[in-house]
Structures are given as structure tokens and as C-alpha cells.
A = this chain, B = another copy of it.
């Protein structure tokens, strides 16, 4: 019943040849005679021989694994990124090890240390919020100094020299805000998180830029910063009511969908009285009522590109010290939460 996997040594013993002969025969080496090759290959096929990955990894110091460290997996955006990474990596024969930092600096560090000792050929990661708050990137420094390639996506830092993939968050917010203004909206709010997240910061800049450029001006009291992801019903509701808004830009889809519901409860019609635009083109936006216009971040594309950059670097012999930052353009996905 329990048939353990067979090794080169086993084949060699059975066929009374040396291990090296078996190894070469299986690789169809010219060195080995037709006869022997056929014999070995037939035997290997019969007993379903498959080389041991670990042994190969040890030998050529390549694991064909890539480590992905992200803050959370129960977020549509990250999920799509993983899918993009997995698809691309798999196509090139790589496996994906997923580690969750859960927005914790310590877990991020521990995860990286666990993987950095030979388990993976490179990292793809998005920084935890705590890491971005602390501004401590020594764990990344150590890894890159060891010569392990790293690709940072979305939540990045420019304190580390490595390949990066981001979407132009500023542009996304700018596009969204401009769209609202062009539709005649003037009292446009922004609901965001605290500034420590690089993406939130960039989106705030884009929002302000559009307002300024279009001659409306920034009203700081129209910017609501939510410290956590816990929805503060009373706070948001009073914000929506006291500000007399006609449009709201939210930095994610949860904020947007939740705010929409509160607005509806207050008797506002969407989009007639008030428009909403969010970030992240997830299931929530698609199936919300009304469906939510969003700035799409193209997570899957992002994952794919990250994986490509990483694997290219891993497989390139020369260790060029040249890094690039790919900036993806966001797209506005128009749905029923704005007039159109």
C-alpha cells in the first residue's frame, strides 16, 4: 500500500549501474548509450520516478519558490494580486508561499526571516501599515543585502532600493475628483484613513490637486479621516449630514458602500443628490446598490508584473544593480453611483 517514492539510488541498485549513469540517462545525456537510456527511462516511468525538489534546490541553490508577504488576504485587492502572482509564477514553474503580516511589523519581520533562509528565491511584498508608520525597513535592507531580490507593490517605500510596482494613486484620485467636478459637483468630500499609509497619502494629494486645479479649493473640513477599519456609523453619518455634500470620494470600497447606505438612510438619492466614487474594483462595488463607480487598481495585472519582475531578476545571471518602478495607470469604472 504505502509505496515510498523511489530515488536515483534505488534505480541504480536495481539496474546495477551507477547513480551518475541513471541521472544522466534520465536527462537524455549523449554520454549514455541508447540501450541504457531506454532501460533506465522505462524503469523510471514504471516506478513513477520524480526527482526530489529539495535535493535539487540544495544543489543549485534555487528553490523555485517565491515568498509573498502581504498585510491581509481578506481584501479583494490583495486577493487579486495574489492570483496574478500565482498565475504568472506557476506558468514559469514557481510556487508561491503566502505569509500574512496582518498589518503587524513584528509578524512581517518574522515571516521574512523564516523565508529568507533558503526557502525562497525572492520576495514580493506590500508593507504592513505598522511598518509604514514606524518607517523601519531594516528587515528589507538585510534581505536585499543578502542578494535576495525583492519586489515591492502598492504599499512601498523609497527607502529601499528594489523593483517596485504601484498604481498611480494620485492620478486615480485626481481622475475621480475631476470627473465629479465635471459633472457639476462642488462640495466633494474625501473619506480616507490616517495618512501613514502611502496610498492614502497619494490619493489625498490627487484629490486636492483636482480641486485646486479646477478652481474649487480645498476645504479641510470636508476630509474625514477614519483611524481604523471599524465603521463609525454615527461619525460618518453626522459628517455626511453636516457637510451638505454632493459627492464623496472614498479611499476604498468598504468606506464607499457603507457611506452610501448611510446617505440613503438619510433620505439622499444616489446619484441624483449625491455621487460616490471608491477605490478597488471588487465584488462589493459590482454588486452594491447602486453599483459603485470605482478607481480600478488592476490588482491581478499588478501581481503579474511583480512576479515577472521578480522572476526575471532571479533568473538573470548578472546581478545588475538597476531597479525600476512600474507605474500602472488606474482606470475609472463607471457605474450607477454617479450620473452617466
Interface flags for A78-90 (1: CB within 8 Å of B; 0: not) read: 0110110011001
Contacts A261-B287, A283-B254; is A53 near B96 (CB within 8 Å)? Answer: no
Q: Which residues of B contact A53 (CB under 8 A)?
A: 117-119
| Contact residue among B4, B57, B284 (Cβ-Cβ distance under 8 Å from A284) | B284
| Chain B residues within 8 Å of A261, by CB | 287, 289
- For A113, the chain B residues whose CB sits under 8 A away are 50
**Interface with B: A19-27, A97-105, A162-170, A180-188, which one?**
A97-105
Instruction: Answer yes or no: A5 CB below 8 A from chain B CBs.
Output: yes
Q: Does A73 contact B (CB under 8 A)?
A: yes
Interface residues in A, total, Cβ within 8 A: 58
Return the contact of A146 from the options B3, B51, B65 (Cβ within 8 A): B3
Q: A55 at interface (Cβ–Cβ under 8 A)?
A: yes
Cα A97 to Cα B87 with chains together (Å) = 13
A1 within 8 A of B: yes
Chain A: residues with CB nearer than 8 A to chain B?
Answer: 1-5, 48, 50-55, 57-58, 63, 65, 73-74, 76, 79-80, 82-83, 86-87, 90, 93, 95-100, 111, 113-119, 142, 145-147, 254, 257-258, 260-261, 264, 282-284, 287-289, 319
